[in-house]
C-alpha cells in the first residue's frame, strides 16, 4: 500500500542528493520579493533556479534575489540562460561555482531568440563537458526522445524536456513523446517550460515525470501564492496517481457491478464486454458491400425470466406488457427471446 504522505518513502534522488519535494521553482518575474518568498513557502520547493547573469557574483550575499532566501534550506540550481553555445554555458557554470553557488547547473542554450527553443547540438556538447568537470548537470532540452537519451548517456544527472516553448502556457503539446522519454530513461525526467495551470503539472506527473519546474505560470498568475500551492498539490496528486496505476482505456463501457441479481440479468442481457463484442461483429458484417441489411444484436433470455416479467407487468396494468408487442413492449416469445423497441427476430432492411 502506498502511504498517503509518501514524500519520505518516495524521495527524488539526483546527483547523490535526496529530495522530498518534486516541485522546482524559478525565481524570476514575481511582482515583488515578498510575494516570491510567500510563493516559495507555499510551494514547499527545495530546489530553486535562477539565471546566473542576474546574480551579483561579486557579492552573492547582497544579491537582489538571493538575499531574500537566506536561512532557508534550499538547493540552488543556477542556469546558463543567455548562453548561445557550449563555451558560454561552461564559462557561466564555472563563474557560478567559483561564487559559491554549488555544483548543480541547469544547461540552457537557446538557438532562437523568438521561440527560445534549446539548441540540441550545443546543449549536448555542454552537457558532456560539464559532466566531465564534475557538475551535476541538468540540461533543458526539447521533447525529443533520442536527444534525451543521448544527454543521459553524456552524463546528465537528469534531463529537463519542455512541455512547450518557454513562457507560452500552452501546456504539454506532445504527451506521447514525454511519456516515451519518462519510460525509457534511467535518469529522472523533470518537465520544464511551457506549462500553464496546475492541470499541466498533474498530467506531467501522471506521464511518469520525476518532477516539474515552473516559474512563469506561478509568478504571473493572478495569485502567485495560491498557484504555487496548487502546483504543489497537483504534483503530489499526479505522482500518487502514477504510482497507483490507472485503469486501461477501453473503447466501450464496462459496468462496475456484475449483472447477477439485477433486472438486466432477468432480461438476459450479457455483460458490457460481451455486448461490445457482438456489436463489433455486427458492424463488421454491415460494412460488407453485399450486406444492405443489419441484424439486431440480442442476447438470449430465459423463458421464465421474460415470461415472468411480462406477467408481472400485465398484472399491474403496465401498457405494452400484456403479451402483444407494441411500442416499448417487452414480450416473451416462443423461442424465449425478448423483443423491445427497434428489435426483431428477423433481419430488417436499412431505412
Residue 43, domain CATH? 3.20.20.70
pLDDT at 330 over 50: no
Catalytic positions, written as ranges: 106
Does the pLDDT value for residue 283 go beyond 80?
Answer: no
Q: Are residues 104 and 157 in the same domain?
A: yes
Residue 251 resides in a domain = no
Residue 213 and residue 269 in one domain: no
Q: Give the pLDDT score at 262.
A: 66
Residue bearing the bigger pLDDT, 312 or 73 = 73
**Dist CA 67 CA 60 (whole Å):** 8
Are both 56 and 204 inside the same structural domain? yes
Using CA atoms, how far apart are residues 347 and 293, in angstroms rounded to an integer?
Answer: 7
Indicate whether 177 belongs to any domain.
yes
Q: Are residues 107 and 224 in the same domain?
A: yes
- What pLDDT is recorded for position 73? 81
Specify whether 341 is located in the same domain as 237.
no
Residues 228, 271 within the same domain: no
In a domain, 298, yes or no: yes
Helix/strand/coil for 17: strand
Residue 209 covered by a domain:
yes
Instruction: Show binding-site residues.
Output: 167, 193-194, 215-216
Same structural domain, 199 and 331: no
Instruction: Please check whether residue 258 lies inside any domain of the structure.
Output: no
Q: What is the CA radius of gyration of the chain?
A: 30
Q: Is 255 within the bounds of a domain?
A: no
In this prediction, what percent of the chain has a pLDDT beyond 90?
Answer: 55
pLDDT tens, residue by residue, 19-70: 999 999 999 889 998 999 999 999 999 999 998 887 767 666 655 567 667 7
Confidence of residue 123 (pLDDT cuts 50, 70, 90): very high
The chain-wide mean pLDDT, for the chain, equals 80
Instruction: Give helix 120-132 / helix 86-98 axis angle, nearest 10°.
Output: 40
Q: Which of the listed ranges 66-70, 193-197, 329-333 does the model predict with the highest average pLDDT? A: 193-197
Grid cell for residue 32: 515583488
Are residues 333 and 343 in contact, defined by beta-carbon separation less than 8 angstroms? no
Contact 128, 154 (CB under 8 A): yes
pLDDT at 301: 45
Indicate whether 156 and 292 sit together in one domain.
Answer: no
Q: What pLDDT, on the 0 to 100 scale, is given for residue 256?
A: 80
The phi, psi pair for 24, rounded to 5°, reads -100, 135
Whose cell is 539548441? That residue is: 119
As a whole number of angstroms, the distance between CA 126 and CA 140 comes to: 11
Global pTM reads 0.72
Closest CA to 185 of 229, 222, 143, 132: 143
Q: Percentage helix, strand, coil, to 5, in the chain?
A: 40, 15, 45
Q: Is residue 172 part of a domain?
A: yes
Q: Tell how far CA 336 is from the center of its chain.
A: 49
Three-class SS state of 257 = coil
Using alpha carbons, select from 89, 72, 71, 69 the residue that is nearest to residue 27: 69
Residue that wins the pLDDT comparison between 330 and 305: 305
Write down which residue in 244, 276, 298 finishes a domain.
244
DSSP 109: B
Q: Assign 111 a pLDDT band (cuts: 50, 70, 90).
A: confident
Kindly state whether residues 273 and 217 are assigned to the same domain. no
Same domain, 16 and 97: yes
Helical segments of the chain, H only: 33-43, 86-98, 120-132, 145-153, 175-184, 198-206, 216-219, 224-244, 263-267, 272-286, 303-315
Q: Does the pLDDT value for residue 3 go beyond 80? A: no
Other beta carbons less than 10 A from residue 255's beta carbon: 12
* 219-253 per-position pLDDT tens digit: 999 999 999 999 999 999 999 999 999 899 889 88
Residues 305 and 175 in one domain: no
* Residue 164, in any domain of the structure: yes
Number of domains in the chain: 2
Provide the grid cell at 275.
Answer: 455486448
Distance of alpha carbon 200 from alpha carbon 174, whole angstroms: 12
Surface-to-core class of residue 210, CB atoms within 10 Å of its CB (0-12 exposed, 13-18 middle, 19+ buried)? buried
Tens-place pLDDT, residues 128-167: 999 999 999 999 999 999 999 999 999 999 999 999 999 8
- Residues 211 and 315 occupy one common structural domain: no
Provide the residue count of the chain: 351
Q: Which residues are annotated as a binding site for 1-deoxy-D-xylulose 5-phosphate?
A: 167, 193-194, 215-216
Q: Which domain holds residue 231?
A: 12-244
**Given 211, 244, 277, which residue is the final one in a domain?**
244
Count of alpha carbons within 13 angstroms of residue 60, beta-carbon side: 16
Cell of 294: 443489419
Mark 319-349 as b/e (b = at least 16 C-beta within 10 Å): ebbbeebeeebbbbeeeebbbbeeeeeeeee
Amino acid at each position: 500500500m502506498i502511504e498517503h504522505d509518501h514524500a519520505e518513502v518516495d524521495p527524488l534522488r539526483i546527483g547523490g542528493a535526496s529530495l522530498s519535494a518534486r516541485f522546482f521553482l524559478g525565481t524570476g518575474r514575481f511582482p515583488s520579493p515578498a510575494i516570491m518568498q510567500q510563493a516559495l513557502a507555499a510551494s514547499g520547493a527545495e530546489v530553486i533556479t535562477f539565471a546566473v547573469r542576474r546574480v551579483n557574483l561579486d557579492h552573492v550575499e547582497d544579491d537582489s534575489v538571493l538575499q531574500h532566501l537566506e536561512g532557508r534550506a534550499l538547493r540552488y540550481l543556477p542556469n546558463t540562460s543567455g548562453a548561445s553555445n557550449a563555451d558560454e554555458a561552461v564559462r557561466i557554470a564555472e563563474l557560478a561555482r567559483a561564487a559559491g553557488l554549488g555544483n548543480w547547473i541547469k544547461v540552457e542554450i537557446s538557438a532562437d531568440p523568438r521561440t527560445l527553443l534549446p539548441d540540441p547540438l550545443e546543449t549536448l556538447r555542454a552537457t558532456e563537458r560539464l559532466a566531465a568537470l564534475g557538475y551535476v548537470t541538468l540540461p533543458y532540452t526539447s521533447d525529443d526522445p533520442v536527444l534525451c537519451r543521448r544527454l543521459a548517456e553524456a552524463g546528465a544527472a537528469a534531463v529537463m524536456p519542455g512541455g512547450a516553448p518557454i513562457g507560452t502556457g500552452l501546456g504539454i503539446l506532445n504527451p506521447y513523446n514525454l511519456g516515451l522519454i519518462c519510460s525509457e530513461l534511467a535518469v529522472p525526467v523533470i518537465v520544464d517550460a511551457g506549462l500553464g495551470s496546475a492541470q499541466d503539472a498533474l498530467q506531467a506527473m501522471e506521464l511518469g515525470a520525476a518532477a516539474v519546474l515552473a516559474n512563469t505560470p506561478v509568478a504571473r498568475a493572478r495569485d502567485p501564492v495560491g498557484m504555487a500551492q496548487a502546483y504543489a498539490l497537483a504534483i503530489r496528486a499526479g505522482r500518487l496517481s502514477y504510482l497507483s496505476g490507472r485503469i486501461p482505456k477501453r473503447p466501450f463501457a464496462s459496468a462496475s457491478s456484475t449483472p447477477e441479481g439485477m433486472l438486466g440479468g432477468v432480461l438476459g442481457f450479457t455483460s458490457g464486454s460481451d455486448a461490445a463484442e457482438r456489436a463489433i461483429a455486427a458492424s463488421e458484417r454491415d460494412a460488407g458491400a453485399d450486406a444492405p441489411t443489419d441484424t439486431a444484436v440480442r442476447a438470449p433470455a430465459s423463458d421464465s425470466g421474460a415470461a415472468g416479467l411480462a406477467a408481472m407487468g400485465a398484472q399491474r396494468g403496465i401498457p405494452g406488457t400484456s403479451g402483444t408487442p407494441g411500442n416499448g413492449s417487452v414480450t416473451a416469445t416462443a423461442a424465449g427471446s425478448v423483443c423491445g423497441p427497434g428489435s426483431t427476430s428477423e433481419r430488417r432492411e436499412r431505412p
